[in-house]
Amino acid sequence: MNIKFQQHVYQALLAEAKRQDKPLARLCNEILETAANIFDNTSDIKPALASKAKHNGEHNEQAKN
């Protein structure tokens, strides 16, 4: 999986991984697992997220009229 972060987010994740003495990939995996658990167990968050979904990394932008 290839994930791109803004520089300040990457630096914060890297600092936290170093603080916890674990690889950055493991920290990101734990964060994603926690987020997935929250999404799976919070029914009112799913409709809001579905409207922001991106397919194959492409931006899902609606035309403004």
How many residues are present in the chain? 65
Contact present, 39 and 45 (Cβ < 8 Å):
yes
pLDDT tens digit sequence for 27-64 = 999 999 998 888 888 877 666 555 565 655 555 444 44
Domain positions in the chain are 1-40
In this predicted model, which residue has the larger pLDDT, 20 or 59?
20
Q: What global pTM score does this model have?
A: 0.63
Q: Which CATH number fits domain 1-40: 1.10.1220, 1.10.3470, 3.40.1130, 3.40.50?
A: 1.10.1220
27: exposed, middle or buried (C-beta count within 10 Å: 0-12, 13-18, 19+)?
Answer: middle
